[in-house]
Amino acid sequence: MSDPRIILASQSPRRADLLRMLGLTFETMPADIDESYHAGEQPAPHAERLARGKAQEIAARERGAIVIGSDTVVIVDDELLGKPRDQAQAVAMLMRLQGREHEVATGIAVAADGILRSGVERVRVRFRPFGEDLAEAYVATGEPMDKAGAYGIQGFGATLVERIEGDYFAVMGLPICRMIGLLESVGLLYDFRGLAMEGDVST
């Protein structure tokens, strides 16, 4: 049986890097969905809803493919922090997060043959204290501008993180362990060489 066709419904280079790290062969195909926040919607369900929407949108167009969708949000004081619109907002976000704890919620979904499975991974992250000069210097690197909460834990932003409680990869944008569980739930098994349909994995 031929290898399953895997599509990552994202243009995030970080998510693609994580799939490549696992040895997966896949395509990237960003989904075109409305990502606006619904009135009264909680941040973690918002992330899961968007992950499901991304996976469903691509699966409806690419019949027979296994589609992975994901969405990450940063939450502080029960408020969702998205991607900063400009450098000033990025600095303001970082100053709001410095010296305290916040939450990262990453929704993950897998769509295959009319089946949709999803979940959300929640992680506690604590930033060390720092001043506005440091925040401005970090923003000047350009790294924060396409990331929820205005930081990336896998880059220069690692120097801001004092500790995390939970899945590091979820903070990067793709909770690997939960994703593998969802893939297994639709009949795909991971055997360290890639993915195969259940029953085709060598033992």
Residues assigned a catalytic role: 71
CA 74 – CA 127 distance, rounded (Å): 13
Residue pair 70/102 in contact by the 8 Å Cβ criterion:
no
Q: Which helix (H) or strand (E) holds 14?
A: helix 13-21
Q: Which of 109, 123, 110, 104 is nearest to 49 (CA)?
A: 109
Angstrom distance (rounded) from CA 136 to CA 95: 10
